[in-house]
Amino acid sequence: MRHNKKVTTVLVNLYAVAGVVLVLFPMYLTIVTAFKTPEESARNFFALPSSLYLGNFAEVIKRSNYLMYVFNSFFITVVSVAVIAIFTPMVSYSIARNMQHSKYYSFLYYYLVIGIFIPFQVIMVPLVKQVTTLGLLSKYGLIILYISFSLMQAVFLFVGYIKSVPIDVEESAFIDGCNVWQVFIKIVYPLIKPMTATVIIVNSLWIWNDFLLPLLILNKTKNNWTLPLFQFNFKSQYTFDYNLAFASFLLAMLPIVILYAFLQKYIVDGLTSGAVKA
């Protein structure tokens, strides 16, 4: 029995090490190649750089209108996430406090949540056709789509979290003369900050790194490209210059890594708290 446990432990540890190497090795290649000169990469692609060469980053920004693509991604991500963080909690609060005694709110909740189980590939073609008909093949059309798609998951998370907030606090505020809006802004919204941070970072990661929706909606002109679209077309433009390509990848990662570093502590707190009934 002990022998079997030792074998299982060894296998689990080997599996964990293999997983860590599989994740970290591409990151290692990205970082070291971005800081190498082309000559150093030609000599030894896997070795560490002799010095921190910043010329690749300057060249990417200079030669490829990189800042324009950064602005496009930044604009789309910030506007989408801001609307999601402001309006989704309101919708979720109305549903969470009324669905038990209202068929309308109950139907609305399940109608939104069921969208989580529909693969995007099923609706991709009719979606593009509809967006084209409405003339929304632009950054603003993409923002509308991001808000619409995020509504399903965000409502599911917020409703579960709001249900765990004791209703006694709200009832005390109503007795003191607060209306529904004041109760939500002054009491409920501050209490659901962990879930709000969770929704912000999850959607920021998705929208900033998303490739498929921008490819379908924004590929009409280069001026509307986001960073993932730029990176997709980067290799064809600089076919043999992996130093520039990896420098562009590293630059694209930095904003979302910084955001994650500041907000990641809220993810577990938000998800686990919303999963437990008060």
Tell me the per-residue pLDDT of 166-202, one tens digit each, with 9 for 90 and over: 888 888 888 888 888 888 888 888 888 888 988 998 8
Range 69-96 burial, b when 16+ CB lie within 10 A, else e:
bbebbeebbebbbeebbeebbebbbbbb
Q: How far apart are CA 234 and CA 69, in angstroms?
A: 12
Phi, psi of 60 (to 5 degrees): -60, -50
Q: Is the pLDDT of residue 16 over 60?
A: yes
What is the pLDDT at residue 30?
83
Extract the tokens encoding 140.
Answer: 């603003």
What is the pLDDT at residue 53?
84
Percentage of residues in the chain with pLDDT exceeding 70?
Answer: 90
Task: Place 141 in a pLDDT band, splitting at 50, 70 and 90.
Answer: very high
**Higher pLDDT, residue 210 or 260:** 210
What is the pLDDT at residue 240?
57
What is the pLDDT at residue 229?
87
Which domains, ranges and CATH numbers included, belong to the chain? Answer: 65-274 (1.10.3720.10)
Tell me the per-residue pLDDT of 88-99, one tens digit each, with 9 for 90 and over: 999 999 999 998
What is the pLDDT at residue 58?
84
Average pLDDT over residues 221-244: 75
What is the pLDDT at residue 1?
59
What is the pLDDT at residue 90?
93
